Structure 1
Amino acid sequence: MKRDLKGRLFTVINRENNFIFNGSDTVELVNKYGTPLYVVSEDHIIDRCIEIKRSFLEKYENTRAVYASKAFLTKEMCKIVSREGLGIDVVSGGEMYTAIKAGFPMENVIFHGNNKTIDEIELAIKSNVGRVVVDNLYELELLNALAAEENKVMDILFRITPGVDSYTHEYISTGQIDSKFGIPLKEEILFEAIYMAMDMEYINLLGFHFHVGSQLFENTSHLMAVDILLELIKDVKEKIGFETEELNVGGGFGIAYTKEDNPRGLSYFVDPIMEEIQNKCNEFDLKRPKVIIEPGRWIIGEAGITLYTIGAIKEIPNVRTYIGIDGGLPDNPRPALYKAHYEAVIANKMNEEIVNKVTIAGKCCESGDILIKDLEVPEIEPGDIIAVKSTGAYNYSMASNYNMIPRPPVVMIKDGVDRLVVRRETYDDILSREVI
């Protein structure tokens, strides 16, 4: 609810001036659920899943798509992804446990991670995870030993570092040779891993995985990595006799955060990837492996917005005007973490004239808690609502309790109808694990 300066609740009723998101009036959502508030469009998620089926799964035989759940994961998201026929990839025991509790078919789960713990690996084995993407030799030996205790054979892929640089922020570039992820393309290391896996009783090596980075607008790094991996697939068949059954090409397809971004349709990435894989398989006389993609941000990013209430307005003449909001770094650490850019609108003044340029400041005790610089806005006042766009990915999933601030709720919208899928955290929730 919004309050005037005397603390009285009031409601914005000028609906024709309000920001409508997926058929819902955002100001009415604020009146109902408060702020900060994550709002997610189920319709957008479904549209993206339909595009994946039309442009990839139905277009190309022997393919698979899994949702990279680190971008945004709730039990409700698991149910939506399952209904749409996609798998999911998880990178922790917590994400895996969420899928389990949501009733997600575990054979459609791929387990990633560069330093999986013993507990996480045991959970993966006992819950019958469909694939484990093995990152290093220590993990390979550990997985085989733990699988032996359960008398289960685990299907795996090796994550390969292809040595490909991508044009993105260094914190979300993952395919370069100097990376914490994956097994480097050094024959003395990689071939040893393959020999070890083939000799292990409780390991079934199916193929390879790579990921070149996130928020990419060009397909060149994917295509370079495909060429490198197909050379590898040819070499291991000729030298070892191992025939690759699966090739996971990752995700990383970019979305629009600002009007300067130039996102591409899924076909821009998958069509040339599939063409190059088939051409190389023909050239090398290889059976084409099953091809897997792992979009995450591309599915959920633009499906989400975050709503805040404006509080303090601090004008520094001839310098800057700071607009304080009731959230910030704890519910969206991306601008502080790697200078992510966003666009926003004043949700209750959509049709008013733009008259000012301001900086949106979060409420945390950090100078770096700045959400947006130089946002063009109409005349604003305390109590106005700001809607930040494209916050579906890596906002809820990265949220923290820094400064002991409760995390926002999540509201899902479908066909203009809202429903609560994650309740607002309370102070008691924050303190619930403390022991005195």
Structure 2
Amino acid sequence: MTALEGTPSVRRLTAWDPAELESRASEYGTPLYVLDLDRISENAQRLASAFPDAEILYAVKANALKDVLETLHGEGIGLECASAGELTRALDASDDGAAVHYTAVNPPAHDLDQVVEAWEAYPELTITAGSEDTIDRLADRGYDGRLCLRVNPGIGAGHHEKVQTGAAAKFGVPAERAVDVLADAAERSFDVVGIHAHVGSGVSSDQLDAHREFVSRMGEIARSVTEAVGDLEFVDVGGGFGVPYREDEQPLDLEAVANATREALGDVNAQLTIEPGRYLVADAGVLLTEINTVKAARDTTVVGVDAGMTTLLRPAMYDAYHPIRNLTAAREADSSDAERGREQIPQTIAGPICESGDVFATDRTLPASERGDVIAIGNAGAYGYEMANQYNSRPRPASVVTEDGTVRLARRRETIDDVTRVERER
């Protein structure tokens, strides 16, 4: 029996034990992120099984917690970084330059300075440039190492228009310029190793045609580059593999995506590289928050919680849906001595931020809430803490991880002193 047999392809919020999650909230306080490292390993193994011949890089921006990076590196997954800060964290977690890619998007000067300095210590790392200007700036800093070119194939897909990167002018060199740009880079003694593009984030099974068209275009570009410049090590088609946030959505047919990717790429004398982020960590994390206010409004019942858009930004930024479960009510229902069941009523779950957009759900039908109840917000392992902020001078939450049945604090809760320290220590 393999490690994956019997494990679901998606972990729903109802699969988390409500009593155990409540105990985490009691011990560590709320708001609190809980991450299951064993689930992250399962997701990594599932990807490796579907893409056995591909290089898999994890998009660090999804969740840069050191425990997450160490877990994925231990599973043989590389680390793709969108900033110098992420690159520093990836090297700290892996100490392996060959496993790290830096994908620059209009990189600030201090980012390039830091990345080139890291390259001097780790000459095996790969830098992906998204413009000729960035290549010039790297050359000015003495960089002539492993260079990948981000191209713009003109095809985008994803769960929201703000994350459909494949056709956005911000990202990459126009595909028709790729051969000339890489030929010039090779003449300037850069070690040209690959091409890269990313269609978008949260691609679902019903967007498979767009994904297939995008990968096919990348295969065409790779063959043109090979003919003009020479063999490439890899063709990186990004990640963007979606996960089902809604309870009635089916999980991504990963085998179908893998087969479509290989077929669409065609005959290319280079390794296929993929860069999943969300798929590896989303369903491995939940956000716990406590109810502090229940009030009857004109058209709904408003349930106030101690997490907000500063804790989990996705609902406010993308109108994103996240499953929600009242853990206290679920535990009561599971208890043998529970004599009552709560009425199911529509409720609006709102945070403490002074913005009308600070809402996690509107008119969501849930068991009637009571002050002190603990609520879990599911699929919070990706782009949760990474997008947390200190708006309204609110400290960011703590994170705990679970692994092999043990629980440990992975990141302490910030304090007001942390928020104001940069003003005092200047």
TM-score normalised to structure 2 length: 0.89
User: Among 193, 207, 215, which residue is 1:206 paired with?
Assistant: 193
Per the alignment, in what secondary structure is the counterpart of residue 263 of structure 1?
Answer: coil
The aligned counterpart of 2:264 is: 276
Q: Is the counterpart of residue 420 in structure 1 residue 409 in structure 2? A: yes
Quick one: distance in 2 between partners of 1:172 and 1:260?
23
Deviations 1:145-198 (A, max 9, x none): 2135xxxx311111111111325311010111x431111123xx3333122211
Tell me the number of residue pairs that the alignment of Structure 1 and Structure 2 aligns.
Answer: 398
Conservation of the 8 A alpha-carbon contact between 1:68 and 1:294: yes
Paired AA for residue 269 in structure 1? V
Verify: 1:229 aligned to 2:218, yes or no. Answer: yes
CA contact (8 A) 2:397 2:414 kept: yes
Q: 1:93 Cα shift?
A: 1.3
1:29-40 alignment, distance < 5 Å: 29-40=24-35
Check conservation: 1:174, 1:181, Cα contact below 8 A: yes
Corresponding residue of 1:4:
none
Distance 1:243 1:339, change over 3 A: same
Q: 2:304 aligns with which of 324, 330, 350?
A: 324
Report the Cα offset of residue 21 of structure 1.
Answer: 2.6
Which residue in the other structure is 2:282 paired with? 301
One-letter identity of the residue aligned with 2:347: V
Is 1:342 the equivalent of 2:327? Answer: no
Query: Which of 103, 121, 126 lines up with 1:112 in the alignment?
Result: 103
Other structure's SS at 1:349 match:
helix
> Does 1:159 pair with 2:150?
yes
The whole-number CA distance in structure 2 between the counterparts of 1:194 and 1:46 is 36
1:263/1:234 CA distance change after superposition, 3 Å = same
Give matches, 1:165-314, under 5 Å.
165-166=156-157, 168-176=159-167, 178-186=168-176, 189-201=177-189, 203-218=190-205, 219-238=208-227, 240-277=228-265, 280-281=266-267, 287-314=268-295
For 1:134, the equivalent position in structure 2 comes to: 129
Tell me which amino acid in the other structure corresponds to 1:289: A
1:12 matched to which residue of 2?
A: none
Secondary structure at 2:328 match in 1: coil
8 Å CA contact 1:168–1:216 kept in 2: the answer is yes
Q: CA deviation at 1:23?
A: 9.1
**1:241: how far off?**
4.4
Counterpart of 1:49?
A: 44
Residues 1:125 and 2:113 aligned together: no
In 2, the alpha carbon distance for the partners of 1:166 and 1:397 equals 22
Distance 1:433 1:89, change over 3 A: same
Aligned-partner residue type, residue 424 of structure 1: R
Secondary structure of 2:250 counterpart: coil
For residues 293 and 105 of structure 1, the distance between their equivalents in structure 2, rounded to whole angstroms, comes to 19
Identity within the alignment, %: 30
Q: Shift of the alpha carbon at 1:118? A: 2.6
C-alpha distance in structure 2 between counterparts of 1:384 and 1:173, whole Å: 37
Once the two structures are superposed, the pairs formed by residues 94-113 of structure 1 within 5 Å of their partners are: 94-113=85-104
- Offset at 1:304? 0.5
Q: Which moved more, 1:385-394 or 1:217-226?
A: 217-226
Which range is displaced more, 189-198 or 415-424?
189-198
Query: CA contact under 8 A between 1:40 and 1:411: conserved in structure 2?
Result: yes
Aligned pair in 2 of structure 1 residues 357, 400: CA closer, same or farther (>3 Å)? same
Q: Decide whether the 8 Å contact of 1:256 with 1:302 is kept in 2.
A: no
Report the alpha carbon displacement of residue 235 of structure 1 after superposing the two structures with TM.
2.6
Q: 1:70 to 1:167 in 2, by over 3 A?
A: closer
Secondary structure of the residue that 1:269 maps to in structure 2?
Answer: helix
Q: 2:59 aligns with which of 68, 86, 98?
A: 68
Provide the secondary structure at the position in 1 that maps to 2:276: coil
CA positional deviation for 1:72:
0.3
Measure, in 2, the Cα distance between the counterparts of 1:268 and 1:24: 37
SS at match of 1:434: helix
* 2-structure distance, mates of 1:408, 1:295: 25
Task: Report how far residue 320 of structure 1 moved.
Answer: 1.2
The structure 1 residue matched to 2:395, chosen from 406, 412, 415, is 406
Q: Which amino acid aligns with 1:165?
A: G
Cα–Cα, structure 1 residues 207 and 262, in superposed 2: closer, same or farther, change >3 Å?
Answer: same
Distance 1:417 1:182 in 2: 43
Note the C-alpha offset of 1:325. 0.4
1:28-57 Cα distance to aligned partner (Å, 9 max, x none): 111100100000111110101111222213
User: 1 or 2, which has the higher helix percentage?
Assistant: 2
The match for 1:14 is none
Cα gap change, 1:297 to 1:354, in 2 (>3 Å): farther
1:211 counterpart letter in structure 2:
H
> Secondary structure of the equivalent of 2:386?
coil
Distance 1:391 1:236 in 2: 40
SS of the counterpart of 2:142? helix
> Please, which moves more after superposition, 397-406 or 349-358?
349-358
Q: Secondary structure at the match of 2:127?
A: strand
TM superposition shift of 1:103: 4.2
Q: Relative to 1, partners in 2 of residues 1:36 and 1:223: Cα closer, same or farther, differing over 3 Å?
A: same
